[in-house]
Amino acid sequence: MMSAVDTSILDSLEFDDQNFLVNATDWTPAVGEAIAAELGIVLGERHWVVLNFCRKEWEEHGESPTIRRITKGADVGTKELYDLFPGGPGKIAAQIAGLKKPTGCV
Amino acid sequence: MPGFNREKVQATGAAVADAPAKRKLCIIASKGSLDMAYPPLILGNAARAAGIEVHIFFTFWGLDIITRKKNSNLHVATVGNPNMHPWFHIPTFMGGIPGMSDMATAMMRSEIGKLDVPPVAEFLDMLHDAGAHIYACLMTVDMMKLKKEDMVDYAEILDANQFIEISEGAQIIFV
């Protein structure tokens, strides 16, 4: 996809077959910007509230937060979260944050 | 070492803001006991979380899930319910003792809460915020002598024909 952000930073990193970063420690905010750009999302301040929360959850608990955890912990409403990350907020936020897909039913 | 696969993004269209949702799921919720209220809500929510278009049709006892006065007070049946473990088994002859259903209901609510799963009314609001479409079955609304204002305000009343039209091309789950 054509975008204004230079995404060549992604070429030197390892991704799984669903385009999730293999090593969460390879992630930097610039990597996040690049993944988002590839997915067609321009990151704004509210995106970063969610992404920083996801990174913090991963650092503290070693796993990606579910949508429910994000809405409870990051002060972002369900509707807003779906608007920020269209097409599946839990999965896509985790992907941009360089984490694995969240697991859990809610 | 596999890098970021750009073709894959274009192939799936995932997360592109104006990409049309490809999968569509219709769920028919026909039961209104506490235990049977959750499956349609959880499946609908999981589908929305995966970017799938979701329509839920609440019919017969399932209508209680979207009826304001009832959806915070759904119960578990203790008579003729052989599945009460892992907590304890309630033999049918004891299930009818006054308070038995209340006790089982309170216990299930508490266990569900421990899993950080919201109560039914809150879950329904969450689903609506997540973009799921919520429908009330017209025939049931008439049969129960309910009005639109008795239901959550985002519920739309549909007859069976309209729901069948909406479900064209969708995957369907009946609960």
pLDDT, tens digit, 9 for 90 and up, residues B112-139: 888 889 999 999 999 999 999 999 999 9
* Residue-level pLDDT at B12: 55
In eight-state DSSP terms, residue B158 is E
Which domain CATH number covers A50?
1.10.10
* Residue-level pLDDT at B97: 87
> In this model, does residue B166 exceed pLDDT 70?
yes
* Nearest residue of A to residue B47, measured between CA atoms: A88
- The answer to whether B46 touches B127, Cβ cutoff 8 Å, is no
* Residue-level pLDDT at B17: 47
Average pLDDT of span B45-61: 95
Q: Give me the domain span that covers residue A59.
A: 8-96
B90 CB-near residues (< 8 Å, 6+ apart): B78, B81, B84, B100, B104
Q: Please calculate the CA angle B133-B136-B138 and round it to the nearest 5 degrees.
A: 135
Residues B61 and B129 in one domain: yes
- Each residue's pLDDT tens digit in chain A (106 positions)? 455 778 888 888 899 998 999 999 999 999 999 999 999 999 999 999 999 999 999 999 999 999 999 999 998 999 999 999 998 999 999 999 999 999 887 8
* Residue-level pLDDT at A3: 53
Residues B61 and B126 in one domain: yes
Q: For residues B3 and A80, give the distance between their C-alpha atoms in angstroms, rounded to a whole number.
A: 31
Q: What is the CB neighbour count within 10 angstroms for residue B30?
A: 17
Q: Give me the domain span that covers residue B104.
A: 76-118
* Residue-level pLDDT at B79: 84
Residues B51 and B80 in one domain: no
In a domain, A50, yes or no: yes
In a domain, A77, yes or no: yes
Average pLDDT of span B154-173: 95
Task: Please identify which residue in the block is written with the tokens 């894959």.
Answer: B8
Please give the residue that has the higher pLDDT: either A8 or B47: B47
- Among A86-90, B40-44, B77-81, the minimum mean pLDDT is found in B77-81
At B158, list the tokens: 């549909």
In a domain, B147, yes or no: yes
> In this model, does residue B11 exceed pLDDT 70?
no
Q: For residues A30 and A27, give the distance between their C-alpha atoms in angstroms, rounded to a whole number.
A: 8
Burial A65-81 (b: 16+ CB within 10 A, else e): bbbbbbbeebebebebb
Residues B107 and B31 in one domain: no
* Residue-level pLDDT at B14: 54
Contacting residues of A for B1, CB less than 8 Å apart: 14
B58 CB-near residues (< 8 Å, 6+ apart): B29, B65, B66, B134, B135, B136, B137, B140, B155
From residue B137, alpha-carbon distances to A18, B62, B163 in Å are: 39, 9, 9
In a domain, A90, yes or no: yes
SS3 of A81-102: HHHHCCCCHHHHHHHHCCCCCC
Percent of chain B with pLDDT over 70: 90
Helices (DSSP H) in B13-167: which residue ranges?
Answer: 34-49, 92-95, 100-114, 120-129, 138-143, 160-166
In a domain, B11, yes or no: no
- The answer to whether A92 touches A20, Cβ cutoff 8 Å, is no
Cα torsion at B22, B28, B31, B33 (round to 10°)? 20
* Residue-level pLDDT at A29: 94
| Pairwise CB contact (< 8 Å): B4 & A79 | no
Question: Chain A: which residues have CB within 8 Å of chain B?
Answer: 1, 7, 10-19, 34-35, 38-41, 67-69, 71, 77-79, 82, 85-92, 95, 105-106
Pick the closest to residue A1 from B23, B26, B9, B38 (CA basis).
B9
* Residue-level pLDDT at B87: 65
State the ipTM, two decimals: 0.84
In a domain, B15, yes or no: no
Residues B157 and B85 in one domain: no
Please give the residue that has the higher pLDDT: either B43 or B5: B43
| Pairwise CB contact (< 8 Å): B16 & A91 | no
